[in-house]
Amino acid sequence: MTDIFIEGGRTLVDGALVETSLRTSGRDIGALDAEQGRAALHIDAGGLLVLPGIIDLHGDAFERQMMPRPGVDFPTDVALIDSDRQAIANGITTVFHGTTWSWEPGLRSAENARKLLDAIEALRPQLAADTRFHLRHETHNLDAEAEIIQWLGEGRIDLFAFNDHSNVKPKKRNQLAERAGLSLEAVNDMLDRVVARRPEVPASIARLAAAARAVNIRMLSHDDNSPAMRQEFRALGATIAEFPVNEETARDAAAAGDFIVFGAPNVVRGGSHTGWTRASDMIAHGLCSVLASDYYYPAQLLAAFRLAGDGILPLTKAWDLISSAPARAAGLADRGVLAAGRRADIIVVDDKVPLRPRIIAVIAAGRLVHLADANCLVHSLAPRKTVAAA
């Protein structure tokens, strides 16, 4: 593996931007305030930002690569490879693919969940981002319980979330019908059958949570709508609150020290597409600790600069929401900050145009995996091979 020397950037170190240089050593950061030493690749970061790689706890934009239009499917491996390119190009070096296993057929079916997990495991060595499996379990999908417990025991799940989208409003049923490949009448019949089993759900949730706790898998609850709901999931060990739908619930989560996840697109767009909580307001009130890409890979990078540009947080604090905090939430102690001995996940960013940062280079686990401007490459010090005279 080629060691890399990054010279002269405004580098995020210990919560401040300082002009320094760093050198990688294999998969890790070798030293800060470093001399070039034996590094064979030299990146001139003068005038640029050098930041920890982005960590995305919840992203399902890969679904658009799997099904770009309703009823139009592409192979899972093709979709994953394309999603990997998109994530890396937007500075995401650790990605948790939020895979919904629902009671519906089609895109969020059991078959697709199995195919996606198998593909992630098979392709992981060739993907540039550290790619992990975030299973979003629909709690009314009771028939999946035994298989999910088996996956948890086998260590195949990296994050485990509880979702409940069984209460589908009439105006969203057409969207569900398109995604599942069903008629509206068939969707209505399916939802009736799903809701009829609701009394069985709490016991199933408890069994699944116990299985996740037994193997130390971090758990999340999705769309908590009240402090009571958050408290119930916290008692089961789900200490990450994803997208609490109101401030009261977010305050309960914050008071208990839970991680609170909102969507970065909410920040970039200035509000939720569902009409729920404004993430920027929650951040201003100290009620958000993590921003996720949600459904749009460029959003985390853009959101950090939007927060800084709007005066809500300085960039150094905004960057914590997409790097060090998600690392802590996921239990990844080896990344999220730039420090000697940490994983060398590093991005170089041109911030000259306000609110429109441009990724110049991405290093993931010590490898240069994306380069948008070759002019920042200075030279190589790799020893040249000599050919003996005949």
Whole-number Å distance between alpha carbons of 56 and 48: 23
CA 380 to chain centre: 33
63 — phi, psi (to 5°)?
-60, -30
Q: Tell me: do 98 and 244 sit in the same domain.
A: yes
Structural domains counted in the chain = 2
Domain containing 360 — which CATH number? 2.30.40.10
Residues β-bridged to residue 294 = 59
188 has a pLDDT exceeding 60: yes
Q: Tell me: do 21 and 78 sit in the same domain.
A: no
Per residue in 17-32, pLDDT (tens digit) is 999 999 999 999 999 9
How much is the average pLDDT of 99-117? 93
- Asked if the structure places residue 161 within a domain, the reply is yes
How much is the average pLDDT of 331-339? 98
- Asked if the structure places residue 385 within a domain, the reply is no
Burial (CB count <10 Å: 0-12, 13-18, 19+), residue 275: exposed
3-state secondary structure of 196: helix
CA 284 to chain centre: 22
- Asked if the structure places residue 179 within a domain, the reply is yes
Per residue in 207-249, pLDDT (tens digit) is 999 999 999 999 999 999 999 999 999 999 999 999 999 999 9
Q: Tell me: do 154 and 221 sit in the same domain.
A: yes
Per residue in 49-88, pLDDT (tens digit) is 999 999 999 999 999 999 888 888 899 999 999 999 999 9
Q: Tell me: do 101 and 30 sit in the same domain.
A: no
Whole-number Å distance between alpha carbons of 233 and 245: 15
Q: Tell me: do 277 and 375 sit in the same domain.
A: no
The pLDDT of residue 40: 83
- Asked if the structure places residue 390 within a domain, the reply is no
Domain containing 182 — which CATH number? 3.20.20.140
The pLDDT of residue 389: 43
Q: Tell me: do 191 and 230 sit in the same domain.
A: yes
Task: Give the list of residues 6+ apart from residue 306 with CB closer than 8 angstroms, or none.
Answer: 267, 268, 280, 355
Q: Tell me: do 370 and 295 sit in the same domain.
A: no
The pLDDT of residue 387: 42
Structural domain for 372, as ranges: 4-51+339-380
Q: Kindly state the percentage of the chain with pLDDT values over 90.
A: 82
How much is the average pLDDT of 371-388? 66
| Chosen domain end from 309, 330, 351 | 330
Q: Residues 130, 321, 325, 284: what is their CA dihedral angle, to the nearest 10 degrees?
A: -160
Q: Tell me: do 153 and 283 sit in the same domain.
A: yes
Which among 281, 325, 328 is positioned nearest to 307, based on CA atoms? 281
How much is the average pLDDT of 306-331? 98
CB-CB contact of 54 with 322 (8 Å): yes
- Asked if the structure places residue 262 within a domain, the reply is yes
pTM for this predicted structure: 0.93
Q: Kindly state the percentage of the chain with pLDDT values over 70.
A: 96
Q: Tell me: do 96 and 121 sit in the same domain.
A: yes
381 has a pLDDT exceeding 60: no
**Element (DSSP H or E) covering residue 111:** helix 110-123
Which among 200, 202, 203, 176 is positioned nearest to 190, based on CA atoms? 176
- Asked if the structure places residue 22 within a domain, the reply is yes
Per residue in 261-303, pLDDT (tens digit) is 999 999 999 877 666 788 999 999 999 999 999 999 999 999 9
- Asked if the structure places residue 386 within a domain, the reply is no
Q: Tell me: do 264 and 277 sit in the same domain.
A: yes
